[in-house]
Structure formats: structure tokens, C-alpha cells
Amino acid sequence: MSLVTVKFGGTSMGNHDAIAQVGRIITDLRAQGHRILTVVSAMAGVTDQLRQAARSAATGDDLTHVDIVNALRARHYETVEQLASDDKIKKATLEELDMLLGNLNTMCHSIAVLREVTPRGMDLIMSFGERLSARVLAAHLRDRGFASLAIDASELIVTDTNFQDAAPIFEETNRRVQEFLVPYLESGSLPIVTGYIGATRDGIITTLGRGASDFSAAILGAAINTDDLWIYTDVDGILTTDPRIVPTARVIPALSYGEVGELAYFGAKVLHPKTIQPVIDKNVPVRVRNTFNATHPGTLIQPQAEITAGAIKAITVIRDVSLVSVEGQGMVGVPGIAGRTFMASARAGVSVLLISQSSSEQSFCFIVPQGSTTTVLDAVRRELRYELERRDVDRVWAREDVVILTTVGAGMRGTPGVAARVCGALSARGINILVIAQGSSEYSISLVIQSDEANEAVRALHELI
Ligand code: ASP
Ligand code: MG
């Protein structure tokens, strides 16, 4: 018998058929004798609807949120109707949902009166999706004769007060999990815990950031010392690249923690980037699997990397970025210009995705999200105004028509010639490389190219896998 933590995303919770399938996965595991901790997302689309309810209310509109809440009620009621046949269970669940939805409406009304929504208010509103979906699944399992209870993670995950993107405080979280969740699991019941949410020490609800239910599952899984963590989604696993660009993209059988970190950082959307962080110290194997193709093994993410022959395992593209360059003959040997440039960007609240400097020191460049181009240019020009006046720096400028293309694979460490193969594949197609950067982990090589050549470049590199 082992302890398995399973997480189901929004599509897996999307309607009654999907939730019935989730129920089967859980009860099959149970029949194999495992203890199971389940973490769920809101039904697909619900979190966006909640945000819209709050936003519209914040403009003083006291009607739109009523429509949204009614739509949410109809959808959740319908799902319960389909998933619970026992009248008592059905009635109790609908009452519970109704109470939550009533609260939600009242809160939106308060926002409409105040015409303002704070990040803290936003978190409260956006927490309702998971609180609703967890109750629906628990009711379904009870209806099928299992002991199951929906638990709000606000009782378990203690966070800081950084609303909308709160960070867990692990020590206190672990203590609460040991105290409240572990005994329940040990009793053989099936707890269904909400993803995405936590609460401050004072019990004020927070959210861990969009898509963070994966992260919640990892936090809770690590806290119960889970043997396995399975992230169920609607694709077979992590793919070699975006199948819309390369139809022959395939599931990667195994990746290391390091490789997945690099992939998540460079834009692969399957797993929330923070998911691995809580399980690293405990060496928990993580699997990404498909709810709707439950026999597929998915992608296994483990502490160590398996080196594959081609060295490259995956290719990602980050679009909507700009390449900012700082150029000048007079920069040679002048310390601090790069440092001040990055400090200026950081002070402007912009995070830099990639940095490259030519060894001649006559220029360096970096990538920022396209939406922050003007902010960064203004901040850097202000910071370097004397150097610009003295012509030590000739110009600070940006190109917006670029993408970052990243190849990921641990085998690139110490394998000579991978960069050459990558660059060769692109030049064979006449694709010009503007910037090259290798991560110091040597798990990835990133290239900046013109955006209209992105898809062709991905296809060319995919042939190298
Ligand atoms: N429901 C949340 C979101 O849509 C969290 C998640 O699904 O992981 O962002
Ligand atoms: Mg997700």
C-alpha cells in the first residue's frame, strides 16, 4: 500500500462525465489498496468567470455578477443532479453549494457598492471555484458509498499576505497537515482538497496564483510524505513541442526535476512552474497523466535525468517578448553598466527572461515581456543618461518582432556539438539567430530569432529530437 496524491485540473472537473471518470480513477486506486489524497481545480472556466464577476462589480455594475452566479449555480446543480442519485446526499450538497453561491453574490454586491476590488477581495471571490468543485466530487464519492469529505485548503495551507500570488509558509502548513489531514487519510477516507487557495495566519483567504492547483497538490503531497504525485490533465503527458506547430509532437516518457523546471520557465504550459519546488527534498516522483486516457503512463518526472541519444528532449517558444539592446564603444571595461541596467529594470518591476553579452563588451542585450518594453526603455535610459550624454553608450533600443526558442535536455551538459547542431539546423533553413544563450545548468540552449520564423524553426529543431 502506498500513499498517492492525485490532482485533477479544470477540464478533468469540467462536467459530470469528466468528474465521473475522476471518481473512477480515485476508486480504482482505492481498490488497489492505496491511500489517496485528491486535490482539485475549479470546473473549467469558472475561475475566469469569478474574476469577471468581481471586475464588473468593481465598476459599479450590480447585475453582471448575478448572471454569472446564476450560471455557476445552474452548472454545478446540473452536475450534482447527474452525479448523486441518493436524495439525501443530493439535497445536502445543493444546500451547501447554495450557501457558497449566496455568499459569493453578497460579496460581489459589496464590491459593486464600494466600486473597488482589492487583491484581497479578488482572492476571496476567486477561491469559490475550487470550493464548489471539491464539494461536487466529494458528494459523488459519498453517493458511490465511499467516505469522502471536501476540505478547503484555507484550513491547511498557510501563506504570506501576497494576495493573488501568495507563497506558502511550509512549516506551519506541514504542522496543520499533520494535525488535520493525516489522521483523516489514515482512517481510509477520501479527502478532496481544494487546489489554488490558502489562507494567511489570520485565516484570510489567499490564492497561490493562476494555475497553481498543481503547486497546491505538491505542497500537500510533500507534507503528507506522499509516495507518488500524479497530476491529471487533458493531454497524455508533457509533449516534445506544441502539437499545433508540429503535429508529430510526442509524449516525453521521462524528465528530471531540472529539465522540467527549465521547460516550465521557458513556456511549456503543462505544469505550474512551482510544482516541483515542494517535492525536491523528498525526491517524490511526479507523473503527468491524462484523465481521459488513464492507461497511458504519461510523463514521469524524477530527481535524476535520463540522457537520451539526441540530447534534446523538448522545444518551447516564448512569444510576445522584446529584445532590448544596450550598445556603445565606450562601455568597454566600464564596470557596472550591465548591473545598473538590470537594477533599473528590476526597480521598474520587469523581470528579465534571458541575458546575453558579446565578449567584446560593446553591447549586451536581454529579453523582457513585450508589454513592458516602453517601461524598461524609459527606466534604462534614465539610469544611463550620463553615459548616453557622454556617448559611452550609443543607444538603448528594442525590437519587438522576436521570440525565444529554447531546447531542453540534460544530455546537453557536456555533450559537445549540440549547440552546433541546433544552429546548423536553423542556418540550413536560412533562419537568422539574433542571440544565443545557454543556461548555466546546461539543461537548455535558448535562441532569439525573428517571430515570423518561429514555427519553421521549431519544425527544424524538432527533427533533431
Ligand atoms: N482554478 C485556478 C485557475 O484557473 C487554479 C488551477 O486551475 O490550477 O487558475
Ligand atoms: Mg492547470
| pLDDT tens-digit readout, 403-440 | 999 999 887 777 778 888 999 999 999 999 999 888 76
> Does residue 264 sit within a domain?
no
Closest Cα to atom 5 of ligand 1: 211
Instruction: Let me know: does 101 contact 53? Beta carbons within 8 Å.
Output: no
> Does residue 306 sit within a domain?
no
Q: Which residue has the cell 439525501?
A: 88
Which atom of ligand 1 lies at the shortest distance from residue 48's CA?
A: 4
State the cell numbers at 53. Answer: 464577476
Distance 42 CA to ligand 2 centre (A): 10
Q: Which ligand approaches the C-alpha of residue 48 most closely?
A: 1
- Helices (DSSP H) in 161-225: which residue ranges? 170-176, 182-186, 213-223
Contacts of residues 279-282 at CB distance under 8 Å and 24 or more positions apart, as own/partner, are: 279/218, 279/221, 279/222, 279/229, 281/222, 282/222, 282/225
> Does residue 251 sit within a domain?
no
Q: Which ligand approaches the C-alpha of residue 233 most closely?
A: 2
Same domain, 205 and 102: yes
Distance 215 CA to ligand 2 centre (A): 9
Q: Which of 113, 206, 195 lies closest to 151 in space, CA to CA?
A: 195
Q: Which of 34, 43, 36 lies closest to 13 in space, CA to CA?
A: 43
* pLDDT < 70 positions in the chain: 309, 359-361, 440
Total domains in the chain come to: 2
Same domain, 196 and 91: yes
Q: Domain boundary residue among 199, 214, 234?
A: 234
Cα–Cα distance measured from residue 447 to residue 438, given in angstroms and rounded to the nearest whole number: 9
Exposed e or buried b for every residue in 54-71, given b needs 16+ CB within 10 A? bbbbbeebeebbbebbee
Distance 10 CA to ligand 2 centre (A): 7
**Predicted pLDDT of residue 158:** 98
Question: Measured over all CA atoms, what is the biggest interatomic distance in the chain, rounded to whole angstroms?
Answer: 81
> Does residue 185 sit within a domain?
yes
Same domain, 334 and 212: no
Three-point CA angle 408, 409, 414, nearest 5°: 120
Pocket of ligand 1 (CB under 6 A): 9-10, 41-42, 47, 129, 195-196, 210-213
Q: Domain boundary residue among 213, 234, 255?
A: 234
Closest Cα to atom 2 of ligand 1: 211
Same domain, 344 and 218: no
Q: What are phi and psi of 155, to 5 degrees?
A: -85, -15
Distance 243 CA to ligand 2 centre (A): 18
Exposed e or buried b for every residue in 299-308, given b needs 16+ CB within 10 A? bbbbeebebe
Q: What are phi and psi of 150, to 5 degrees?
A: -80, 135
Q: Which ligand approaches the C-alpha of residue 288 most closely?
A: 2
Distance 112 CA to ligand 1 centre (A): 24
> Which range marks the domain in which residue 44 is found?
3-234
For a mutational test of ligand 1's pocket, the pick from 7, 41, 233, 269, i.e. the residue with the most ligand atoms closer than 8 A to its C-beta, is 41
Same domain, 325 and 201: no
For a mutational test of ligand 1's pocket, the pick from 47, 194, 206, 220, i.e. the residue with the most ligand atoms closer than 8 A to its C-beta, is 47
Q: Domain boundary residue among 234, 252, 287?
A: 234
Same domain, 197 and 52: yes
